[in-house]
Amino acid sequence: MSRTASFVRVGVAYVIAIAVAAAWLVVGPTTDLLWLDALIADVLGTLVIFVFSRVHHNSSFYDAYWSVVPPLLLIYWWAEGGLGIDSPRAWLVFAVVLLWAVRLTANWANGFPGLHHEDWRYGLLRGNAGRWEFVTDLVAIHLIPTGQVFLGMLPVYVAVTHTGDDLLWLTAIATVLGVAAVVLEFVADRQMLLFVRTRTPGQVMNRGLWSWSRHPNYFGEFGFWFALALFGVAAAPADAWWLFIGALAMLAMFLGASIPMMETRSLERRPEYGEVTAHVSRFVPRPPRRVSV
């Protein structure tokens, strides 16, 4: 299948998924809880993408769902939550989420080779699951990421539905941090793209932001979700105790699953990567360690 045809099929899948989710919100039974109605719609959309993944034997159908859904959740909550269109707080969080979503979706589209290719991590997870392959595909590859993103978006729900005064200084910090995190991700991904285009066999990435952190893109991603938590705290300081759950879930996924899988693969394919792990920070950017002579 050509890349263009693959884009068309993925696009059709997302149109149907969003339509099913919207239909639930418009004509489906209501729970009288705005966040719960959105969660049910989100899960229904995920199930549509899962069906397309199974039909095409390619779980990478889900990849763009991570960045496509959050702006839609925000718009629904803002429209239905009673916070006016003139709310500076809502516009600021919307701008940060939209900037993040456009950048990440564009990055996915730029690197999408077509449906002949699938993210190697999905095949590894399904292969290790044995007879539980179907459940792993449904739960680990589709439903759990949807749940994580939804948790990460709950502070946004608070930010665009809470009608009280907010902490303006914290809203400003959240805005600056969110934009900075997206810019960091953009620069890191751009540097990696340029490296991939020019690298020699076995060469490892250890320049630019990647000389300060082995995974600056993941660090930037965590920074974005942390910024969303700050938006929620700024809107409702009394609820601060639970608003960081989503960001912490993202951090746990990056440190406990995504990074270990990436590093194991890198060491298997490029033994020189061991030199990078010896002097470059694993996650938080910092000047590289000096190599002892």
Confidence of residue 72 (pLDDT cuts 50, 70, 90): very high
Residue 68: both structure tokens together: 């496509």
CA–CA gap between residue 116 and residue 58 (Å, rounded):
8
Quote the pLDDT of residue 53. 97
Angle at 108 between CA 147 and CA 18, to 5 degrees: 50
Taking alpha carbons only, the member of 146, 148, 162, 145 closest to residue 231 is 162
CA–CA gap between residue 173 and residue 265 (Å, rounded):
37
* Whether residue 59 has pLDDT greater than 70: yes
* Whether residue 293 has pLDDT greater than 50: no
CA–CA gap between residue 195 and residue 157 (Å, rounded):
38
Residue 167: both structure tokens together: 């902490």
Q: How large is the average pLDDT for residues 89-114?
A: 96
Quote the pLDDT of residue 292. 52
CA–CA gap between residue 21 and residue 103 (Å, rounded):
24
71: left (phi over 0), alpha (psi -120 to 50) or beta: alpha
Q: How large is the average pLDDT for residues 232-244?
A: 91
Q: Which residue has the tokens 């003139």?
A: 86
Comparing 160-164, 199-203, 258-262, the range with the smallest average pLDDT is: 199-203
Quote the pLDDT of residue 270. 86
CA–CA gap between residue 56 and residue 22 (Å, rounded):
24
Confidence of residue 250 (pLDDT cuts 50, 70, 90): very high
159 CB burial (10 A radius; 0-12, 13-18, 19+): buried
On average, the pLDDT of the chain sits at 93
Confidence of residue 201 (pLDDT cuts 50, 70, 90): confident
How many C-beta neighbours within 10 Å does residue 74 have?
Answer: 24
CA–CA gap between residue 167 and residue 238 (Å, rounded):
12
On the CB side of 141, CA atoms within 13 Å amount to 29
In the chain, where does DSSP find H-type helix? 3-27, 34-55, 65-80, 88-111, 120-129, 133-135, 144-161, 168-198, 216-235, 245-253, 259-269, 273-279
